[in-house]
Amino acid sequence: MGQIFQRTGDVFAAPLEDTTLLLNATTGRYHGLNPVAARIWELLIEPTDEDRLVATLVAEFEVTPDTCRAEVAAFLAGLRERGLLAVS
């Protein structure tokens, strides 16, 4: 079984035009998300794995599974590095 990902509890999100802004309350840092990244963030409200994220995004956007998997993995790694994502 793969890793399970979920948002950390100290992050607040707010839409702003074509961007979603995240505020990490612990660090005080802001992060901007494009619409696809914002959709991933939305999906992370519930614990989920990478396979489920990729399947959902491939169904919703015009992207190949391989490209999607690579982009999702990179995005999740970035969220982890910034303390915005919990992994179990």
pLDDT digits (tens, 9 = 90+) for 30-43: 999 999 999 999 99
Say yes or no to pLDDT of 1 above 60: no
The fold for domain 4-82 equals Arc Repressor Mutant, subunit A (1.10.10)
At 2 the pLDDT is: 84
Interaxial angle between packed helices 50-60 and 65-81, expressed in degrees from 0 to 180 and rounded to the nearest 10: 130
Mean pLDDT for the chain?
95
Largest CA distance in the chain: 38
At 63 the pLDDT is: 96
Say what the pTM is: 0.92
